[in-house]
Structures are given as C-alpha cells and as structure tokens.
C-alpha cells in the first residue's frame, strides 16, 4: 500500500513558477515509478509527466515539454514537479500517482493516488 500527499500548489501569475512535491509512505519507494497528472474543471484527467524508479528516465506530455521537470529523491521518498513558464491553461488540480516498477502515461495504469493540489495560473 502506498499513500501519497501532494503539496506546493497555489496561485501564480502567467510566466511564473511553482514546484510541487509528493511525499510517499511506501517502505520501498524506489520500487515505484511515479507520475503526475492534472484535471481541469470539466475535463478528463490528463498525463503530465512520469519518472522511473531511479530517475534516469522521464516522459512528458507535449503540452509541458520544455517547461516542466519531474524528478525524485528516493532518500526522501519524494517526487517533484518543477513548473516554469506557467500558462493559464496549466490551471488544474495536480495529482501524483504511483505504479509498481514501470512508468506509464495512462491514468488507469496507476493504482495509487494522492488527494491533489490546486494550481491556478492567472493571466
């Protein structure tokens, strides 16, 4: 069982930055690939970024590539999402998710989810 708690969301102006954190309770955190997803009002949950267990492989949605960076610190059981050059379209609830071993880009591949953190980007 893995429990996930996100933090770091907030209100920021367009062009600004935020760093989201996700703390995991798993005793064997390094066994899990981690992903970030987001859901805007009236829209489906969409993939943002994923990282493998060691942090050596990352995948991004085209909409955030070059602006967002996913990373992890296995010693701290934490995964991060650095978000730069934020746009109003990035406004959403951001969720982190965990999946045993291999990262994925589909929400239904991840059995463990956090409660989400709100990110609002004003124009």
Beta carbons within 8 Å of 76's beta carbon, 6+ residues apart: 23
Q: What is the mean pLDDT of residues 50-62?
A: 96
User: What average pLDDT does the chain have?
Assistant: 96
Q: What is the mean pLDDT of residues 104-121?
A: 97
Quick: pLDDT tens for 14-37.
Answer: 999 999 999 999 788 999 999 999
- Which residues share a beta bridge with 59? 50
Task: Indicate whether 86 pLDDT > 80.
Answer: yes
Other CB atoms within 10 Å distance of the CB of residue 54: 10
- Alpha carbons 104 and 94: distance in angstroms, whole number: 16
């Amino acid at each position: 069982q893995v429990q996930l708690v996100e933090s770091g969301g907030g209100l920021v102006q367009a062009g600004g930055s935020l760093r989201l954190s996700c703390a995991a309770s798993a005793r064997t955190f390094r066994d899990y690939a981690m992903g970030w997803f987001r859901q805007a009002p009236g829209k489906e949950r969409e993939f943002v970024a994923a990282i493998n267990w060691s942090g050596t492989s990352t995948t991004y949605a085209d909409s955030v590539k070059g602006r967002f960076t996913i990373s992890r610190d296995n010693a701290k059981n934490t995964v991060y999402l650095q978000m730069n050059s934020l746009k109003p379209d990035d406004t959403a609830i951001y969720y982190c998710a965990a999946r045993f071993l291999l990262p994925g880009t589909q929400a239904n591949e991840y059995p463990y989810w956090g409660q989400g953190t709100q990110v609002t980007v004003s124009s």
